[in-house]
Amino acid sequence: AILSRAEAALTSGDLQTAMTEIAGLPKEAQEPMAEWLELAQKWLASTQAFAKLSAILDQ
């Protein structure tokens, strides 16, 4: 069920929700996804930083 919700979130473009769902898995289930989770976190951080910078430049 967790992976289905994570997949649905990704399909709708909601990376944060997908990551939150995956964080609810047992640690041993998260291990195979560790590299993806790290990249997803970096992507999310970079898009948030870009949005902040864009808002500042638009002022």
* Domain range annotation of the chain: 2-57
Q: What residue type is assigned to position 23 of the chain?
A: A
The tokens 């709708």 sit on which residue? 12
Specify burial of residue 58 (Cβ count, 10 A radius: 0-12, 13-18, 19+).
exposed
User: Is pLDDT above 90 for 59?
Assistant: no
Could you report the per-residue pLDDT of 12-56, keeping only the tens digit for each?
Answer: 999 999 999 999 999 999 999 999 999 999 999 999 999 999 999
What pLDDT, on a 0 to 100 scale, did the predictor assign at position 58? 92
DSSP string computed for 1-58: -HHHHHHHHHHTT-HHHHHHHHHTS-HHHHGGGHHHHHHHHHHHHHHHHHHHHHHHHT
